[in-house]
Amino acid sequence: MADPPTNSLTVASSHPSSKSKTELTPRGYLSTYVRVEAGVILFDTGSESPPLLTGLVELGLDQALIDAVVLSHDDPEHFHGLSDVLKATAMKPKVFVPPAAAEAVSTQNPGATVVAVAKPTRVLPDAWLVGPITVEFEGETSSAQALVLDQPDGLVVIVGCTNPAVASIVEEVKEVFGHRRINLVAGGIHLRGSKRNAIKELSLRMQQMGVKRLALSGCTGEPALKIFRQEWGDRVISLDFGNTIGF
């Protein structure tokens, strides 16, 4: 694969999906290689380090170009691959984390520059983090943050493998950015086992908030993906391992 174009994201690691490219081997949690004018941001580092590093190499994504690493949640399953990524690049990128994850990430990665994001924070020019945002799902709470790319056609919001609270994240982004149009929300929404009415309500809410396009990974669940495809048509993009999406 050639270097991804500027203003794009490429899926470097993902949940297995029947729609993934057969010649590639998708494994681990979602991780995206985000390339903007000012540099490269690795968003999340997957649940396992070997699959992520293998994916980066297999896709021709240069680890040495990574300027910053962003961890979407305080859940350790989102940063198991971080240590190997930091060793693989000479850039020594800063690692931006929700405050609740700062101690664990610092302990696991001595010498890394760990930045606890307590308010909207600029990562690179035109690339911001919004958080921490407390999200609740199935009786449990976690601390999350979203990567927001300020593009001429509207905002691009990248989230980790999240849950129906993605709507709350989008609302927070809209508040911070003065209700600018959201061109794309990319990530995974854990809706496996969710009732059809709840999925349809979430779909409607995202449309009412003015989201133009969705890019969803396999962790969303096939029943939910089917509903989103029915209601959004070609405005839903598959976020599978090896896919590159421009914005």
List CB contacts of 59: < 8 A, sequence separation 6 or more: 1, 10, 12, 24, 33, 242
The residue with greater pLDDT, 88 or 158, is 158
Domain parsing of the chain, residue ranges: 8-246
pLDDT interval class at 49 (50, 70, 90): low
**CATH 1.20.1180.10 at 8-246, yes or no:** no
Region 57-86: mean pLDDT is 86
Q: What is the pTM of this model?
A: 0.92
